[in-house]
Structure 1
């Protein structure tokens, strides 16, 4: 699907065209719920992202992954690499919103610290490319005659950020400096090869992906194969005495009107898959909103 055709879906009355467009150009409520939950829980060891392999399934605008990236950029550099993989059905969504959102979020973070001269930890290992970008930004903002002025980092005000060679180089170097590896995958869940992507993950996140029951079995299968240690569950009975070595969170509406999916249907499908594949799934509701259209965050693991 061409980018122009994809953009036409933004103002359409339907956010779902099965096999064509899966709503990835919009930010949905449950992704924000997931960010809030991760932020409140970040002091827990299980939620520490640094040095982990992380997969966001059906990422769309990638708000949860961007939240994690912001935490990584804002913390001291660690020796262990963090891998963040983003998957979405539509390549156009990845091109039009996923990666641009990541780049814009990084620009906001970088310019915010530059404009406030809060550069102590930025300058510790600042590369020539990053320093060039920062100095150019400061110089541009001080020169009213320059048409390529970077806007003040105010998320409440619409603005344009010129994507120059310096911006791209500084972004790439920032990833290297903070030991962050980003990969983006397009296609259906049934075609995602965990082994080719580098192996299992420590953290698997997904939001607003259980709305269509026909696709839920492939989602469950991907989650199961993606979770680090899940395939060994049941081989040692003592494993049930310890927390699982992975974190898997599913954020979803209780019911998706007009589509048929929802939290209850997803839970039933997980247990059905467990019986078919000799797995013992465990699902905990770790957060819930019961006012209006109900929403929940589930934690899924296997024993």
Structure 2
């Protein structure tokens, strides 16, 4: 696929670059970080044994119409979606029962000896999945049949506009995004808006109310009216970058000088790894 360059670098040059992070240009999205796996494992427990039923009618952002599942994904770089996210979603679909009709039809109609064979539906066996027009068409058809909407948004967190995406989300998840303290205000602002549905036009009305809140006040636990699930996975400390869990918890619970309008919240650690690289999965309860 031909692609536009980012700051003079092509997609392949970014893939082969020695650095995992170029601040303001590339934010590490081409790599699978440990906490992403932690988040996936914890999320499977949080949504229950029947995720298809649990997520029905839900809007998800890795921060709709009746009966649908809307999944919105955001990353700083669009090349992450083209090279990693979408190919992995197609591969996940191919390895699931949802692709059985495509696989059956392909095996019955494929008479071209030069055509790339489809790999077995077995994650323990190495293989390559050829991305053909027929496969893409079947993937899109399957999304429609299961009433799943996928949307991809690239850019900084400040550019994510909830007025254009439909407002409040039911599930907001993020992983390995708290590594820099100077980016926490914009991240928390997006997470809070996505969980509450509060728009910028409404924030001014809340400013005086928020200024009156004592930052040392103890907040109550999760309210019955709280409906959005907000989960963050991160390393305890990001050495050499400045961020970490302690700084994140402080920003959520006490706020920062630049976000006096945002409601505060509580951070609940729902999973912790103590061995090796220390990692947490946290659930955020907004007040």
TM-score by length of 2: 0.81
Instruction: Please tell me whether the aligned partners of residues 10 and 26 of structure 1 are also in contact (alpha carbons under 8 angstroms).
Output: no
After TM superposition, the structure 1 = structure 2 runs for residues 48-63 of structure 1, keeping only pairs within 5 Å, are 48-57=54-63
Structure 1 residues 45 and 264, CA gap change in structure 2 (3 angstroms): farther
CA gap 1:152/1:266 in 2 versus in 1, 3 angstroms: same
1:199 and 2:155 aligned: no
- Asked whether the 8 Å contact 2:252–2:266 carries over to 1, the reply is no
In structure 1, the residue matched to 2:284 is 300
* Candidates 265, 271, 276, aligned match of 2:260: 276
For 1:181-200, what aligned pairs fall within 5 Å after superposition? 181-200=149-168
TM-superposition CA deviations, 1:182-239 (whole Å, max 9, x none) = 100000001110111111100000000000111111000000111146789999x999
- The whole-number CA distance in structure 2 between the counterparts of 1:166 and 1:278 is 47
Query: What's the CA shift for 1:264?
Result: 0.5
Distance (whole Å) between structure 1 residues aligned to residue 191 and residue 79 of structure 2: 23
1:1-303 pair list within 5 angstroms: 2=5, 5-43=10-48, 48-57=54-63, 80-110=67-97, 114=100, 131=101, 133-139=102-108, 145=113, 147-228=115-196, 241-242=223-224, 244-273=226-255, 276-277=260-261, 279-303=263-287
Judged with a 3 Å threshold, the aligned counterparts in structure 2 of structure 1 residues 167 and 297 are, in CA distance, closer, same or farther, namely: same
Secondary structure class of the residue paired with 2:188:
helix
Deviations 1:130-176 (A, max 9, x none): x4x344322267x6945332111222333222222221221111111
Aligned residues: 263
SS at match of 2:163: coil
Q: Give the Cα separation in 2 of the matches to 1:207 and 1:102.
A: 17
Greater alpha carbon shift after TM alignment, 4-13 vs 204-213: 4-13
Post-superposition shift, 1:252? 0.3
Classify the secondary structure of the residue corresponding to 1:83: strand
In structure 2, distance between residues paired with 1:81 and 1:35:
21
Tell me the TM-score normalised to structure 1 length.
0.77
> 5+ unaligned residues in a row in structure 1: which ranges?
58-77, 115-130
